[in-house]
Amino acid sequence: MDTRIGWIQPNIGGTVFAVVWGNSREGAVEFRFFEIYRSPEYLSLLAEGAGLSAALAIGGGIMGLLLATLLASFRYSKLPVLRQISACYTEFIRNTPLIVQLFIVAFGLPLLLGYQWPFWGHALLALTLNFSAYFSEILRAGLNAVPHGQIEAASALGLKKTVIFRKIIFPQAVAMMYPSLNSQFIFLFLTTGIIAEVGVRDLMYAGLYIDSRTFRSFEVYFTLTVIYILMALLFKTLLQLLHRGLFKWKAPR
């Protein structure tokens, strides 16, 4: 078997790079990446899809974190009903697939409640609900890790419980669990490709569209893989910079 790497001339003009793998001309496999980048339409679809995927992940992450904070605080409420609501909600979301949640939000709730949103709105709501359940468990672990002695000291100083939670407990919990929140966000971002199943024109939707037009599945999904990796690394870098800015008060180990 031999591998030939060289430059070929496509029918529409222009020189492109291709890899040919095989023993004979009949059995050779050509990796024709120019099928993607020669078309401004495909490049535009990929760029718009990547932007929408990032926007939905960021929006879902922020709103999910806010909802997760509320759910985590419910777990420490004196009202049993709030503790049970938070626990049942978290277990339901964490023990059902995201795609099932997405279909319920996109098709079930509009049918029951009589409303209609754009596809990206349904996706954003489903991602928010999904993110919140996982984030709430991480925050709950962080809240449990805060030394109880600090809470007792704050109470002895006459601070209100809301002030203790907002100024002492919650900042430390987020700081301790930030790496876990970071990793969980990256993981959940990488699962957002399934929102294309409800018609959202995200990055995966762009890949499916291009594949259906070019029939170059390997090249298309290899390109998507590279884009997802670059986006995940970008998110990781930005979150690390955010960590340095938010938690300057935390003593380095």
pLDDT > 70: percent of the chain: 84
* Stronger pLDDT, 185 or 37, i.e. the higher one: 185
Q: Given this model, what pLDDT does residue 27 score?
A: 52
35-246 — its CATH code? Answer: 1.10.3720.10
Measured between alpha carbons, how far is 168 from 222 in angstroms, rounded to an integer?
47
Confidence of residue 139 (pLDDT cuts 50, 70, 90): very high
**Tens-place pLDDT, residues 181-217:** 999 999 989 988 999 999 999 999 999 999 998 888 8
Task: Examine the pLDDT at 115 and tell me if it is beyond 60.
Answer: yes
Q: Given this model, what pLDDT does residue 34 score?
A: 65
Asked if 247 and 253 touch (Cβ cutoff 8 Å), the reply is no
Confidence of residue 3 (pLDDT cuts 50, 70, 90): very low
Which residue in 71, 46, 76, 36 sits closest to 203, CA to CA?
46
Q: Given this model, what pLDDT does residue 96 score?
A: 95
Average pLDDT estimate for 4-14:
44
pTM: 0.82
Q: Cα torsion for 147, 149, 150, 155, to the nearest 10°?
A: 140
Range(s) within the chain of domains with CATH label 1.10.3720.10: 35-246
